[in-house]
Structure 1
Amino acid sequence: MDTDLAGTTALVTGATSGIGRAAALALAARGAHVVVPGRDTARGDATVVAIREAGGTADFAAAELTDAISAHRLAARATELGGGHVDILVNSAGIFPFGPTADSTQADVDSVLAVNVAAPYFLVGALAPEMAARGHGAIINVTTMVAEFGAAGMGLYGASKAALVLLTKSWAAEYGPAGVRVNAVSPGPTRTEGTAAMGEALDQLAAAGPAGRPAQPEEIAQAIVFLATDAASFVHGAVLPADGGRIAV
């Protein structure tokens, strides 16, 4: 197993479940020290234990990403746990309420924008300048295939992730010249704890793509790891589809 990320620190939001957890495990397997943030200490500790039992290193950081203050607090704590540096930031935390536009409340809109847009925005603002000062770093944003096309009932979620697509490109232009690579992974339907409630609808959505099935979180994690490593040294501002080919149809 390659340990090309040895000596780096990775902050992975959403690392207590789903794609974020799979990414945390995969980055740790490549040698990164992973900071696992979250509101649920038990789930965070479970991810940390899984990483350590596999031979990796990780720490839990209690965090609730709701505003600029909480984002800056997490960035400071992750930097402390990382020995003074965070080299990789994976913005994987997200909420995805589906349903008719007319049923959405102000609270729904506020919470989606807070977690899916504002939290990554302020984390990048807190961490990217330090990466730039050191001359290296990688930021990977997790978006969604429904940021690219219209889907009934997915407008709020898709719009929040479409904003993250634009931010990915803007940050690449802003920080790339200083050695910080900013890219995104755009997953298709993925079987996680969060999508379990979709039931057969997840399979039906996945059936529209050439792969014909939902992804496993580990498959998306491998795309994230690629963008975090020097294998993607000439990749800036890209959105890598990991959607089972849905982009092709």
Structure 2
Amino acid sequence: MRLAGKTALVTGATSNIGRAIAVALAAEGAHVVVAGRNKERGDEVVGEIRAAGGQADFVAVDLNGTKAAANELAEAATRLLGGRIDVLVNNAGAIDGGKTTETDEETFDTVYAVNVKSPYFLTAAIAPAMVAAGGGTIINLGSWVARLGIPVGAVYAASKGALETLTRAWSAEFGPSGVRVNAIAPGVVHTDPNHPATAMMTGTPHGRIGAPQAIADAAVFLASDQAAFVHGTVLDVDGGRLGVAVIAG
């Protein structure tokens, strides 16, 4: 129970990585607000957490990049969590895997609104209260494609690169006041171990797709006091995708 007595807000928490993180934080004792657009899926996550003896509530929100949407979520989550948020996980994301010449302006704006503007304004709304309370933890979800170029999804890669840069900037801005800010950069992760995207893990030490639970375990560590000396770091949980090339002998 590394997070006993703590409170947490997880965005994009109704599926895949976000769902796994919400469930894992609750299993470690945190009262979790599950944020997402789909109430039916959100209620399922809350039900799973409560059935296991944990505490959770759902907030329906469309994180569209506006400051108003971020402020609305911050206020609702703070109220449900008894007046404070100890852990913020900026997980909600929009993915575009197209090529640069195929990406229209609407898609570009949507990806940046969800992946950069929303976490920016949500952090702006929540971090000051963490500072006033004496501390807190912010965890951003980056991506291996932010630092290893591939020929598709340039706008998505750029947005995740921006979020990893914000991780370091926020660590410098809020760290001295007791708020630890870090990021996790997942490799190819999916609930289906046979998903076609597993081909992108060829040539890595792990050699196959990762499970959402691997990212959730990393989030629990970063949220806990075990990571008290970890600041401004992007933790690669990617099966070795970014740093290692396996050469067939």
State the TM bucket, normalised to the shorter chain.
over 0.9
In 1, Cα distance between equivalents of 2:143 and 2:25: 21
Please state how far the C-alpha of 1:208 moved relative to its aligned partner: 2.7
Provide the aligned C-alpha RMSD in A: 1.3
In 2, Cα distance between equivalents of 1:17 and 1:39: 11
Question: Is the Cα contact below 8 Å between 2:148 and 2:242 reproduced in 1?
Answer: no
Count of aligned pairs = 243
In 1, Cα distance between equivalents of 2:58 and 2:40: 10
Could you tell me which runs of 5 or more consecutive residues in structure 1 were left unpaired when the two chains were aligned.
none
In 2, Cα distance between equivalents of 1:134 and 1:83: 13
Residue pairs, 1:37-116, within 5 angstroms: 37-66=35-64, 67-116=66-115
Q: Which residue of 1 is the match for residue 200 of structure 2? A: 205
In 2, Cα distance between equivalents of 1:186 and 1:35: 22
Please state how far the C-alpha of 1:40 moved relative to its aligned partner: 0.8
TM-score of the pair, normalised by structure 1: 0.95
Q: Which residue of 2 is the match for residue 35 of structure 1? A: 33
Q: Which residue of 2 is the match for residue 144 of structure 1? A: 143
Q: Which residue of 2 is the match for residue 22 of structure 1? A: 20
**Could you tell me which of 212, 216, 219 is aligned with 2:214?**
219
Q: Which residue of 1 is the match for residue 234 of structure 2? A: 239
Partner deviation per Cα, 1:77-117 (whole Å, 9 max, x = no partner):
00000000000000111111101111111110010001000
Partner deviation per Cα, 1:207-230 (whole Å, 9 max, x = no partner):
131110110000111011100000
Please state how far the C-alpha of 1:242 moved relative to its aligned partner: 0.1
Could you tell me which runs of 5 or more consecutive residues in structure 2 were left unpaired when the two chains were aligned.
245-249
Please state how far the C-alpha of 1:56 moved relative to its aligned partner: 0.4
Partner deviation per Cα, 1:138-170 (whole Å, 9 max, x = no partner):
000011000012111121110000000000000
In 1, Cα distance between equivalents of 2:198 and 2:42: 29
Question: Is the Cα contact below 8 Å between 2:87 and 2:137 reproduced in 1?
Answer: yes
Paired residue secondary structure (2:13): coil
TM-score of the pair, normalised by structure 2: 0.95
In 1, Cα distance between equivalents of 2:190 and 2:37: 22
Please state how far the C-alpha of 1:7 moved relative to its aligned partner: 1.5
Paired residue secondary structure (2:83): coil
> Displaced runs of 4+ in structure 1, greater than 3 A?
none
Q: What percentage of residue pairs aligned between the two structures are identical?
A: 53
Please state how far the C-alpha of 1:247 moved relative to its aligned partner: 2.2
Question: Is the Cα contact below 8 Å between 2:180 and 2:231 reproduced in 1?
Answer: yes
Partner deviation per Cα, 1:38-69 (whole Å, 9 max, x = no partner):
11110110000000011100000111111110
Paired residue secondary structure (1:141): strand
Paired residue secondary structure (1:83): coil
| Residue type at the aligned position of 1:241 | D
| Residue type at the aligned position of 1:118 | K
Q: Which residue of 2 is the match for residue 125 of structure 1? A: 124
Please state how far the C-alpha of 1:4 moved relative to its aligned partner: 2.4
Please state how far the C-alpha of 1:73 moved relative to its aligned partner: 0.4
Partner deviation per Cα, 1:154-197 (whole Å, 9 max, x = no partner):
2111000000000000000000001100000000000147x98x
| Residue type at the aligned position of 1:123 | L
In 2, Cα distance between equivalents of 1:41 and 1:35: 13
